[in-house]
Chains A and B, each alone.
Chain A
Amino acid sequence: MTARERIAGNVANYVDERTGAAAWLKKNLNKVFPDHWSFMLGEIALYSFIILLLSGTFLTFWFDPSMRHVVYEGSYQPLKDVEMSAAYASTLHISFDVRGGLLMRQIHHWAALIFVAAIVVHLLRVFFTGAFRKPREFNWILGVALLTLAIVEGFLGYSLPDDLLSGTGIRIAHAIIQSIPVVGTYLSFFAFGGAFPGEVFIPRIYIVHVLLLPGIFLALITVHLMLVWYQKHTQYPGPGRTEKNVVGYPLMPVYMAKAGGFFFIVFGITAFLGAVASINPLWLYGPYTPGQISAGSQPDWYMGWLDGLVRMSPPLETYLFGKTISWNILIPGLIIPGIIFTGMALYPFIESWITGDKREHHLLDRPRNVPNRTALGAMSLTFMVIAMINGGNDIIATHFDLTINQIMWFSRIGIIVLPPLAFVITKRICLSLQRKDRELVLHGRETGRLVMLPHGEFIEVHEELSPAKKFALTQHEQPAAIELVKEDARGVLNPKGIRAKIQARLSSANAENIAKPTAAEVKELESGHH
């Protein structure tokens, strides 16, 4: 043992004797994390958040969040001597006069788009595999909160530079705030410190964007990950994987090495995008002046569905008690998003109410085995995608030789007709996949090899599945519908009344499945083969 090692050992001992750190570390670093690509989606979100913190900090060194008027004197000639806000001028300064500034700006913005996109695919993974079920409902709600905050954070971010595009976005946000009945006008006065656009809005959202929300993110993400830690990660079903264990790699060193490497990959791809693809070229947009507006003004993608909903709503206003209520903004701008996000947050509870399933689940579902949930997911996605298409209606119109009106009517009708259609189709697809699984288990895989039997008949050779595969295809349970209890044995009417009826109806829809092969059926076939 060298002197240096001895000293290190002594220090470690000293700390351990007083904190018990060694035992804690040993217990936790040996924790096992299962390995599947879909479990890395949350990590992409986490890493892009870190990239956002780093690149964002760089930008704060030069960004001046002020609506003070200045005359631009920087090196971008087409805007020379133009009057603009200090916020916009300093963003131009970062882009053209700070070394690496434009690259950092682009990395920051690409990372923001990737961040929200990664959150969405992560959410979809959690949803379609049923990872939100007990005991992870709270983590799901945290997730919904994180998604909401991420959207707000992104919006505030691209509103900061005070260019023509971001000003247009703030203008719409202002209109949405104002559309809130009774308090709208007051709220907008409060947020903007007076009339639009005022002088205080950008300094205010700056603090929210760089301090308040990132702080909340850090806190919530920590809790989110601690919950994953304590509740342990879910896993896909397979031989040896039960509701009681976790099969995977120890956190240290295998998982840490992989995760660390993955961070650099995410960073690399974000930096690559930042280096080769232009994003938010705001010097082209010019400074924001109320009254100016550009064709093709669009929000970033994660706000696109909101914009699309606002664009497709017919002009509806009512005049009530001397006040105008603009339903055409209120409904798509606040009420529908409110319903969507509340529904999403409550979904784990809604589902467990429908299935009557209050047990813990640590094994994930294969989406096809829960047709109703999968179909619901497809339905919601269809809704969002149509809204988003309408958000880009002008760009789509010019690039695909369509008219805005055609796209508008397509989305107005489509958003009502297509989601239910997606539900029905997805459910059918799930059921036929279940049927295929059943066939596979009972009759094996088609090999495509034809064999001629002695009496001249051709048959295709079916290869029996491995036991592991069979297990994976049959391990799930299939729910039974909740029986509707009209009255109990003594003739007392069910006090839940209509609620019980709804529950029974939904639960019977949920229980629609292709019966999986029973153990007896499998046995019988196997003995038949031999």
Chain B
Amino acid sequence: MKFISKYRKHRFARPLLLLFSLCALGFTFSVATAAPSSNSMAADARSTLIEEGQQIFLKGCSSCHGLNAEGAGVGPSLIGVGAASVDFQVATGRMPMQDMSQQAMRKAPVYDEEEVAALAAYVASLAPGPRAYTNEEIKWERDGNTAEGGELFRNNCAMCHNFAGQGGALTQGKYAPTVMGVEPRHIYEAMITGPQAMPVFSDKTITPAEKLSIIKWIKSAESEPSLGGAPLGRVGPVTEGLLVWTLGLGLLIGIAVWLTAKSR
């Protein structure tokens, strides 16, 4: 089913997109030749980006979010959510949502980076909101502090995402996903936009510098080798208990049977 819906989207999206970008190109060209000032050229590039975004939006998103992103029966209004939210939701593959399950899942993104940027520009043009970030802008390696980040993570995030960032269950079938393997910009954007059940961590609660520390801690936990041997999913005592009852006692009882069988 997933495959089919994706495929359909592609088939319609590609030629239409091509047509649209050609038109846009032509339009830009004519405007550019008419008024060759560099300032307005940038503004024009912006407005084409926005328009491009609007077109993608109309096709891929408006069925749920309304023709003007004002919100429809299914999806909430996107006015004022800002580019950050769009970048997070679309570039992690959460949007467009596929099945109306408990919460939008992370999956392979449907749109490429440019299309995401266009969508973000369009939504940002509707009302001001937090801006999107690039990975290069987020200098966690230089400015973050791992230990401080760990403390912040345990204070603010571990109750949902688990002490090792492995994710955990929330009520009503919702869950906090693992934060391992998430791009730095998406971690940052998750904190400033608070997707779904996650709260927003404004710059007052967690300063931008502290956010970098959190990212640094997550990255260090991600690359930390499992120091004690097989990590068993890093979910705590449940898997340890399972291992004892299966492998541990299994081996021990097996050997006891073997030892006593020899004598018979």
Contact = CB atoms under 8 A, between A and B. Distances in A.
B163 A284 contact: yes
A78 B228 contact: no
Nearest to B173: A403
Interface string A388-400: 0000111101100
Interface string A64-96: 000000000000011111100000000000011
B36 interface: no
Interface string A276-298: 11111101111001011111111
A40 B256 CA distance: 7
Interface in A265-285: 265-266, 269-270, 273-281, 283-285
A405 B241 contact: no
Interface string B250-264: 011101110111010
A93 to B, nearest CB: 14
B164 interface: yes
Contacts of A41: 253, 256
A63 interface: no
A265 B249 CA distance: 12
A164 B162 CA distance: 11
Contacts of B163: 164-165, 284-286, 294-296
B228 A296 contact: no
Interface in B188-242: 217, 220-221, 224, 226-232, 234-242
Interface in A368-421: 392-395, 397-398, 402-406
Nearest to A43: B256
A297 B154 CA distance: 13
Contact of A295 (B159, B228, B248): B159
Interface residues of A, number: 71
A269 B248 contact: yes
Contacts of A39: 260
Interface stretch (A20-28, A110-118, A348-356, A445-453): A110-118
A319 interface: no
Contacts of A298: 236-238
A102 B158 contact: no
B150 A78 contact: yes
B257 A295 contact: no
A113 B220 contact: no
Which of B155, B163, B172 gathers the greatest number of chain A CB atoms within 10 Å? B163
Interface stretch (A50-58, A140-148, A299-307, A488-496): A299-307
Which of B151, B154, B159, B237 gathers the greatest number of chain A CB atoms within 10 Å? B237
B101 to A, nearest CB: 10
Contact of A79 (B102, B147, B173, B253): B147
Contacts, number: 208
A262 interface: yes
A173 B31 CA distance: 73
A295 B169 contact: yes
A163 to B, nearest CB: 9
Interface in B52-91: none
A262 B244 contact: no
A110 B167 contact: no
B228 A106 contact: yes
A297 B163 CA distance: 9
B158 to A, nearest CB: 4
A301 B241 contact: yes
Task: Specify the main secondary structure of chain B where it touches its partner.
Answer: helix
A110 B160 CA distance: 28
Interface string A155-174: 00000000011000000000
A80 B220 CA distance: 13
Interface in B150-183: 150-151, 154-155, 158-164, 166-173, 175-176
B108 interface: no
A114 B171 contact: no
Contact of A397 (B150, B169, B221, B232): B169
A44 B221 contact: no
A278 B237 contact: no
A458 interface: no
A286 B156 CA distance: 13
A463 interface: no
A165 B234 CA distance: 13
Given A37-B260, A78-B221, A278-B232, A295 B150 contact: no
Interface of B: 102, 146-147, 150-151, 154-155, 158-164, 166-173, 175-176, 217, 220-221, 224, 226-232, 234-245, 247-249, 251-253, 255-257, 259-261, 263
24 contacts: A36-B260, A37-B257, A37-B259, A44-B256, A77-B146, A79-B150, A113-B241, A113-B248, A117-B249, A164-B154, A269-B255, A273-B243, A273-B247, A277-B232, A278-B231, A278-B232, A281-B231, A286-B151, A286-B163, A294-B168, A296-B168, A300-B237, A300-B241, A304-B241
Interface of A: 35-41, 44, 77-82, 95-96, 102, 106, 110, 113-114, 117-118, 121, 164-165, 249, 258, 261-262, 265-266, 269-270, 273-281, 283-286, 289, 291-301, 304, 392-395, 397-398, 402-406
The 5 nearest A-B residue pairs measured at CB = A295-B168, A301-B241, A278-B228, A403-B173, A397-B169
